[in-house]
Amino acid sequence: MSQTFVIPDIHGRLDLLDSGLAEIAARSNGEKDTIVAIGDYVDKGPASKGVIDRLLPGVGDGFVLVALKGNHDAMMADALRDASKMAGWLAKGGDTALASYGGHPANVPPSHIHWLDHLRLFYADTHRLYVHAGVDPKVSLERQHLQTLLCKRYPKGFSDGFDNLHVVHGHDNCPDGPLLYTGRTNLDTLAWRTGRLTIGVFDDERPGGPVDFIVIKGAPAGR
């Protein structure tokens, strides 16, 4: 049985990411499992540079890594290309990301900007659709608006998926989550602040939501 492990918003918490990847490796059954990271690798937490350094080369033999783009990843790349967007990015958590590179935009390696630019916007397998924020269920995947994929917030209690696919996303944080519905799963538990990262475990042969979770507990922000 192959599995898909889904890592939600990291926001610079390299400590939680490292522990999560170690737990995933321990849970893997030796098949070609997939790790889907659903974006927001940077900003707010202390180690944005370290998170990208960890993911950029892949996560090792035995796993396929699918790294998706979050709105904060897009903001960082845009700000580093366009100085007029720098203040807006810094005000939304980019200050801590920039600090992890020594405090100056020129210190950000071109390879990191290239990686952020070329992250995928969504990924689908037989049973599920993975995306940072969400999708419009009335629009085909090919016609989804970028703002929807990166920034959508579903109405409270909305339970539909996308066609016959279960939607797995983050972005809209719920510290007491994850939030589980018939057609979608929201894994974002505000890990950068709470210190609790919830990784979804999905059976590739079984439709619907997660069959299990890996919960990583670290120090809350500021401790």
Domains and their CATH numbers in the chain = 3-217 (3.60.21.10)
N-to-C CA span, the chain: 39
3-class DSSP assignment, residue 29: coil
Give a three-class secondary structure readout of 142-208. HHCCHHHHHHCCCCCCCCCCECCEEEEECCCCCCCCCEECCCEEECCCCHHHHCEEEEEEEECCCCC
**pLDDT value at position 223?**
65
3-class DSSP assignment, residue 14: helix
Token readout for 213 is: 């979770």
pLDDT tens digits for 58-104?
Answer: 998 789 999 999 999 999 999 999 999 999 999 999 999 999 999 99
**pLDDT value at position 32?**
86
Q: How far apart are CA 13 and CA 45, in angstroms?
A: 5
Task: Return averaged pLDDT per consecutive 10 residues of the chain, 223 residues in all.
Answer: 95 98 92 94 98 95 94 98 97 98 97 98 98 97 97 96 97 97 98 98 97 97 77
**pLDDT value at position 193?**
97
Of the candidates 36, 39, 25, the residue with the CA atom closest to the CA atom of residue 65: 36
Instruction: Find all residues with CB under 8 Å of 69, minimum gap 6, and list them.
Output: 39, 116, 119, 120, 121, 132, 150
